[in-house]
Chain A
């Protein structure tokens, strides 16, 4: 047995690997007589006791702070799931988003105005009433989802706005323990589509919302949460009152020219977390595209550098870009040129997606 063979055997045995007892004995015997191998064995032991650089003080706390928003979102998703299960247990089947192609053009869906707006709040507060009102509730929710899917997307779009459980759909990067992880997709310079008119977005606290179902009149007692400025589709700019939504999907209710209308958040999912479209300048009227927040210079490169760096892909497989030096959990950018079915489809600008507010 030569030195290399002896040292390799001892190294493997040191790591707990199975080696032949006979061969190991021979290696040890060799080492007792060989100065170089004796030095190797001693060095092996020395390496074991050499200290590993410990993580600096405060790093664990920094890590936990970075993960905290994700934990909060997960807790919300778990609670929502429990809520849905509870609803199902009393006979209400909430619509589950499916990846069915929706081929019809956008149609504005009117919710049946059988009761007042305040009474709708009661629907969602008392699970015992869900069973009797299940048909109306399911219709409203289906209409909401249908509008979002049809209004913002094409055939292949997954209706992100109605789901917080997209983890199983397509995580941005596979970190499964089943095999080798795929690296994030390389930045691609997708061809720019011809400019199209933006959807009927409104902007509330810098977050974009798309119109949903029309609701009945709320009356004077409906809780308000603020106001926004828009000209809607026509006419001059007005300050519209914003009400809290009876839904728990992050939507808001806006007093428009045709009455109270649900506006649903424009979101995309990344690792089950909802990120909502924002805009760095006001959306004065329908048909205006959101733009990046002013703190970000508009990238001139296809991969967003140096403003952004590729951070992975979202649940739809779209490349997302974190602000350089910042974690993607704080938000991410999406390059123009996404498919028409994408929530940002048609937008000629880079867009910024921030963690969606849980309670607008």
Chain B
């Protein structure tokens, strides 16, 4: 998550007091993480954008309820995850399953920054089980500790550890990542 000049608790408090600029700063700092989670969840740009908008509306509505008993990142991840699940439950969006066999390994010419590797990463993410993907996103996108992620996911920290590890192994295997110069094997 990006760093801001004011820390997250300060921004949340200020936004709750009616500081429009503080909320905008908070949104700008974390929209990439929210969007990335939604995109990995739905695998669709439009759905991810709708979900991102819905997340921030819910965040704004929930500002008075944030009491600082958890980290802001934990709170934001909780809302993001639940908003996506709610959209799915309500039938407004679907997350089509992915066959891991459809995922293409990276070519030797790929680099970390190009579009094809992004596509492959996102596709590979959707090949993970929802449980593993959520745990991985909580840690990798939102910067949560295992215990914090566990509180949102309703599982012990050890389970988060296992899921994140399993997700990493799967991603590395799916994307054919290799040690040698960052090229694919």
By a beta-carbon cutoff of 8 Å, the part of chain A in contact with chain B is 7-8, 11-12, 15-17, 38-44, 46-47, 49-56, 59-60, 62-64, 66-67, 70-71, 74-75, 78, 167-168, 171-181, 183-184, 271-273, 305, 309-311, 324-325, 327-329
Contacts and interface: CB of A to CB of B under 8 A. Distances in A.
Contacts, number: 183
Interface string B7-35: 00000000001101001100110011111
22 contacts: A11-B165, A15-B146, A15-B164, A16-B145, A17-B145, A17-B146, A17-B161, A46-B172, A50-B118, A52-B32, A55-B32, A55-B35, A60-B28, A62-B53, A66-B56, A67-B57, A172-B61, A175-B82, A180-B152, A183-B86, A309-B90, A325-B92
Given A51-B113, A177-B70, A183-B82, A8 B165 contact: yes
A53 B35 contact: yes
B30 to A, nearest CB: 10
Interface stretch (B73-81, B96-104, B126-134): B73-81
Nearest to A42: B179
Given A17-B146, A175-B62, A309-B90, A327 B54 contact: yes
Q: Which of B53, B66, B85, B139 has the most CB of A within 10 A?
A: B53
Contacts of A324: 92
A61 to B, nearest CB: 10
B169 A49 contact: no
A1 to B, nearest CB: 15
Contacts of B162: 8
Interface of B: 17-18, 20, 23-24, 27-28, 31-36, 39, 45, 49-50, 52-54, 56-62, 64-70, 74-75, 78-79, 82, 85-86, 89-92, 112-113, 117-118, 121-122, 139-141, 145-146, 151-152, 154, 161-162, 164-165, 168-169, 171-172, 175, 177-180, 182
Contacts of A311: 90
A12 B165 contact: yes
A55 B30 CA distance: 10
B48 to A, nearest CB: 8
A273 B45 CA distance: 30
Contacts of B24: 64
B57 to A, nearest CB: 6
Q: Which of B54, B61, B62, B89 has the most CB of A within 10 A?
A: B61
Contact of A177 (B52, B68, B175): B68
Contact of A329 (B52, B57, B69): B57
Contact of B56 (A8, A49, A63): A63
A346 to B, nearest CB: 27
A88 B161 CA distance: 55
B69 A177 contact: yes
A270 B160 CA distance: 35
Given A43-B178, A67-B27, 8 more contacts: A12-B146, A39-B177, A50-B112, A50-B117, A55-B36, A56-B35, A67-B57, A175-B78
Nearest to A327: B57
Contacts of A64: 24, 27
Contacts of B56: 63, 66-67
B49 A67 contact: no
Nearest to B12: A177
A39 B182 CA distance: 10
B91 A309 contact: yes
A55 B52 contact: yes
A46 B92 contact: no
